[in-house]
Chain A
């Protein structure tokens, strides 16, 4: 994996699985043996307010928060939250949003859009597929595994 720190911001609204998606991503990076930090403010988020979670991984991560303008990737689960979060991205940073799923085969259920977007992200990160799958299963109840693994694979087929 890259020798520098990778910064990913996951954003959306309370109830959309933003924190869950960032948990899965952080766990996947953790399973790769990297140093990982993940941070978000989740005070009143369950009442539908904006949520953003920072995930950082690499050989050594210090601050748990991603400085503005330094995110390599921004995943936004709610289309109307793209603009409020765009400032976190680097000039060369990648935006992943529900629009990125336009070309994927099949329909994705609303509650697994978060994991489908991780599927899109997985195309640009050097994390092995088995590691992603293990992280998804470790962070979700068993009855949700199939649906989310499917959503992840659908997301992986997105063409940029």
Chain B
């Protein structure tokens, strides 16, 4: 873990971003956990930065945008699918622009090491019209983060820093250098036409945004992130992100153009590079974005066969692309799949759901592992919060004997993230036979490594703060049938509660509450520390 500034450090990409954010004077770091981005804010907090978890990515980006409107530098972190949640903010923030630097880290997961899809968020830079930087290792993660704040302020635009699993989680050496331009002091300057996006303001704002992008494209031609390594003229490689490293290893003699600022593209620099080599290949992980754009410019560049769109690139795959080899993908022996921990409080829940032959609209978290044997007790899992809407949709259309077996199952962190609007839907459009929602409250965001959330009542640094009590929220939103239960209490308490709720024909919510066993010892410690603090305060106050 990063602790202090030093000349040469071995850091993960995530830690390097955190260190750069600190050195760039970031006033606020916010985000929602998601592999492989989670460690950025955790490291930023350990370094002494002000970091907080938002209930979801949309809120995080809004908070970051507010800070940037106030002239401060803000860092917002999330995994690739988090940007879908935050997209509504992003697209219009590209119109409003910012005063202080706003950097949105999108941590993509090609290969889906721990994600539900492998969307390529380079598409977002194009769709929303924001500048994008793509570091290839930890050194660049550090440098590009610093540059991202400077660029964001220079063009008064949000900047996306796109990382991937291999950049976030790989460790490599960082030589810590001072970063350009110190942060300015926050100060509110009114700019109604610039920030209030009614159509009359948004129309010119869109044109203004395109002008900024045109200027950013000129800037990209000569910026420090457009890196040309001229070697042999026989082979030229255009790449971004970690693909640059694979390419260097495979073809040490090749000339390489790294597009570190990958949107908007430095078209003249690219044209010159292509003209300077005999054969030019674009090596990009994920979607064929660069190759399509370069060909649209009339450039004769080679791309990769379609099969390389899927999964991560690596040295061998890059070698095959360059050698134009038509090999089949190697079959790798499957490792041991993950499973719910022994003693996990989710286990009895999925045993019960299986026994009762429920149709389970599931959600994302550790509990998604309830889909695997011996449980096989989950029928759908799409995105965070979808258990609620999908369960309701099924209830509305299925024949009664099936509809009454439908249960929506959601984790505590996921419920706060995007279950609350689903609950509103449940109250507002109740299916004729009612519905059953099961909230699995294990007191933590277990999946991503035990982060706090608004339902735990502790902040990112595990200190007490405001707490959302699920039963209260459910009642306040208009559902009176709420039961809380310890899933491990005794053999069939959970079965009974579920059966009763399913038979009721009403809207019912069951909160299954028992801490994640991996998190439990720490939760006890935090609670003890909080109680002690409260006691000392009480004594101190009484003494006054």
Task: Please list the residues of chain A having a beta carbon within 8 angstroms of any beta carbon in chain B.
Answer: 13-14, 23, 26-27, 30, 35-50, 52, 61-65, 67-68, 80-81, 83-84, 87
Contact = CB atoms under 8 A, between A and B. Distances in A.
Contact of A48 (B111, B314, B336): B336
A51 to B, nearest CB: 8
A38 B170 contact: yes
B117 to A, nearest CB: 14
A68 B316 CA distance: 8
Given A46-B518, A62-B248, A37 B338 contact: no
A13 B336 contact: yes
Contact of B449 (A39, A46, A84): A46
A65 B315 contact: yes
B359 to A, nearest CB: 25
A62 B340 contact: no
30 contacts: A13-B336, A26-B171, A36-B10, A37-B172, A38-B10, A38-B170, A38-B171, A38-B172, A41-B165, A43-B35, A43-B113, A43-B114, A43-B115, A46-B449, A47-B338, A47-B340, A47-B341, A47-B369, A48-B336, A49-B338, A50-B337, A52-B335, A61-B172, A63-B246, A63-B314, A63-B315, A64-B137, A67-B315, A68-B316, A84-B333
Contact of A65 (B314, B335, B341): B314
Contacts of A42: 35, 169
A157 B330 CA distance: 38
A107 B193 CA distance: 73
A40 B169 contact: yes
Contact of B249 (A36, A45, A62, A80): A62
Contacts of A49: 335-339
B315 A37 contact: no
A81 B449 CA distance: 24
A67 B333 contact: no
A30 B43 CA distance: 20
Contacts of B171: 23, 26, 36-39
A26 B248 CA distance: 21
A44 B341 CA distance: 11
B424 interface: no
Contacts of A44: 114, 338, 369, 447
Nearest to B330: A68
A39 B169 contact: yes
A144 to B, nearest CB: 16
Nearest to B244: A62
A35 B336 contact: no
Contacts of B173: 30, 35-36
A41 B248 CA distance: 22
A64 B341 contact: no
Given A30-B173, A43-B113, A67-B316, A48 B249 contact: no
Interface of B: 10, 35-36, 111, 113-115, 137, 165-166, 169-173, 242, 245-246, 248-249, 314-316, 330, 332-341, 366, 369, 447, 449, 518
A27 B333 contact: no
B339 A64 contact: no
A84 B166 CA distance: 21
Contacts of B341: 47-48
A14 B454 CA distance: 28
Given A38-B10, A42-B35, 19 more contacts: A37-B170, A37-B171, A39-B166, A39-B169, A39-B171, A41-B111, A41-B114, A41-B165, A43-B115, A44-B114, A47-B340, A47-B341, A47-B366, A50-B335, A63-B249, A64-B170, A65-B166, A67-B315, A84-B335
Contacts of A87: 332-333
B283 to A, nearest CB: 12
Contacts of A43: 35-36, 113-115
B270 to A, nearest CB: 22
B40 to A, nearest CB: 15
Given A36-B172, A84-B334, A87-B333, A64 B340 contact: no
B315 A48 contact: no
A48 B518 CA distance: 12
Contacts of B36: 43
A68 B171 CA distance: 20
B322 to A, nearest CB: 14
Contacts of A48: 336, 338-339, 341
A44 B518 CA distance: 14
Contacts of A61: 172
Nearest to A61: B172
A39 B170 contact: yes
**Which among A40, A65, A83 has the greatest number of chain B C-beta atoms within 10 A?**
A65
Contact of A62 (B35, B111, B245): B245
